[in-house]
Amino acid sequence: MPADINLALTGDQHAHLTAFLFPGDGKEAVALLLCGRRDGERRHRLVVREIHEIPYGHCTRRTTNLVTWSPDYIDGILERAAAERLSVIKVHSHPSGYAAFSETDDVSDRQLLPMIRGWVEADVLHGSAVMLPDGQMFGRVYDGTGFQQIACISVAGDDLHFWYPRAGQGSVPSFAASHAQAFDEGTIERLQRLSVAVIGASGTGSPTVEQLVRLGVSEIVNVDHDVMEERNVNRILNSTMEDAAQARAKVDVIADAINRTGLGTRVIVMRKNLWAPEVVRAVAQCDVVFGCMDSIDGRYLLNAISAFYNIPYFDIGIRLVADGQGGITEVCGTVNYLRPGRSSLMSRGLFSMQDVAAAGLARNDPEAHARQVKDGYIRGSIGSRPAVISVNMFGASLAVNEFLARLHPFREEVNAEHAAVMFSLASMELISDPEEGICPLLIRSGGRGDQVPLLGLMELAERRQD
């Protein structure tokens, strides 16, 4: 079995399960989850795609500590799983709050899970999970030989939940003692277990990584294909003019700085463009994604990864408008929090799919892009904008605090009221917009996991090596 197995739900999926599994009668209930997967070398991610309830009336017994049903009822569900090679997770409630698998659960799983494995006829993991009255979940998987605990069950909703089977047994490192005073030891422990992808290693990427490392995040996957230039030194923390002279990779400069801290964060550097299939696979194994890039097609791709793999996505956008003569007309930015299964950067009106296609053409065929701009078929892209480290750090700090507010809710209002947080230093305003609507472009992508080609995009198709 893989070293780590995670189960990922959206906030809406978790809320739906909670309502069904705890109808208020104090009796157990059961449902089946059909899951896509990210078969990763670091983490194996089971991604919930569909929830199939076993109706209360179809259960042969429902008591405070037992639920049984006719296997015939799930034949059609298992046929669907077999046709698409989906993983099946049985999830049931423990209304008593018993936080472990019972002997009855053990007997049931030893009968049910091998049967499911034989029906699906694919070498994929299936498992069982339990939900407690407070919404917490724990689980295990079966691979044909035995059981293994699910290392983490996560929920990407307005609030972020990460549940671990041995939570509360770690110690707070000395450097994080003041953080524990501000939040709590449970929040620090979750940070110490999280894998976070930061896409971009320059303007907002560098200060985002710096904060995450000093908060004690376990692992950072940093993606950027670019190398250092002199103009980058004024906004990449810990970089030097010597780094620019040697044209060092930006991610290597940041990785060296992380390792020098000695704080224990593991850094995985990806010196490639986000559109490389191996980068998509690496990012899809992470628990949280920060987008610190300007490109429209890259931001679209991160939104798609978020949807396919049920990963929360924080997008940072900075805009500094100068008149070229020493005047500034606007200093602003937005942190968009994208929860899988809800709205997207497209549905929020930041850009259209036509803009995404134009950006892709500019990346893959600059000459063709220039011709189409000249001929008026597509809009010309905005040139390089001015960048100032103080503004970049403000935006990055806002994004990291947005992440912390969802990991450990501390605001007076619920987090749903702060799906997009905009700041203007020109007018000295901080404005929030609530979560609204569902993205019609990505709704069918939810929980699909690994596809061929990746994300259903032909550009990510990989050539066979004969």
Give the C-alpha separation, 141 to 365, whole Å: 46
Q: Which residue has the tokens 């953080």?
A: 179
Domains and CATH numbers, the chain: 5-156 (3.40.140.10), 174-460 (3.40.50.720)
pLDDT at 377: 55
3-state secondary structure the chain: CCCCEEEEEEHHHHHHHHHHHCCCCCCCCEEEEEEEEEECCCCEEEEEEEEEECCHHHEEEEECCEEEECHHHHHHHHHHHHHHCCEEEEEEECCCCCCCCCHHHHHHHHHHHHHHHHHHCCCCCEEEEEECCCCCEEEEEECCCCEEECCEEEEECCCEEEECCCCCCCCCCHHHHHHHHHCCHHHHHHHCCCEEEEECCCCCHHHHHHHHHHHCCCEEEEECCCECCHHHCCCCCCCCHHHHHCCCEHHHHHHHHHHHHCCCCEEEEECCCCCCHHHHHHHCCCCEEEECCCCHHHHHHHHHHHHHHCCCEEEEEEEEEECCCCCEEEEEEEEEEECCCCCCCCCCCCCCHHHHHHHHHHHHCHHHHHHHHHHCCCCCCCCCCCCCHHHHHHHHHHHHHHHHHHHCCCCCCCHHHHCEEEEECCCCEEEEECCCCCCCCCHHHCCCCCCCCHHHCHHHCCCCCC
pLDDT (tens place) for every residue of the chain, 466 residues total: 557 999 999 999 999 999 999 999 999 999 999 999 999 889 999 999 999 999 999 999 999 999 999 888 899 999 999 999 999 999 999 999 999 999 999 999 999 999 999 999 888 999 999 999 999 999 999 988 889 999 999 999 999 999 999 765 556 666 555 555 456 678 889 999 999 999 999 989 999 999 999 999 999 999 999 999 999 999 999 999 999 999 999 999 999 999 999 999 999 999 999 999 999 999 999 999 999 998 999 999 999 999 999 999 999 999 888 766 667 788 899 999 999 999 999 999 999 999 999 888 888 877 776 776 665 555 554 445 567 899 999 999 999 999 999 999 999 999 999 999 999 999 999 999 999 899 999 999 999 999 999 999 999 987 654 4
pLDDT at 383: 47
Instruction: State how beta strands 288-291 and 328-338 pair.
Output: unpaired
pLDDT digits (tens, 9 = 90+) for 272-305: 999 999 999 999 999 999 999 989 999 999 999 9
pLDDT at 320: 83
Instruction: State how beta strands 313-322 and 328-338 pair.
Output: antiparallel
Retrieve residue 291's tokens: 């987008």
Report the alpha-carbon angle 376-381-382, nearest 5.
130
Retrieve residue 81's tokens: 């799983």
pLDDT at 466: 45
Check: CB of residue 338 under 8 Å from CB of residue 435: no
Give the C-alpha separation, 393 to 180, whole Å: 23
pLDDT at 139: 97
pLDDT at 107: 94
pLDDT at 321: 80
Closest by alpha carbon to 281, among 441, 459, 42? 42
Report the alpha-carbon angle 106-96-102, nearest 5.
10
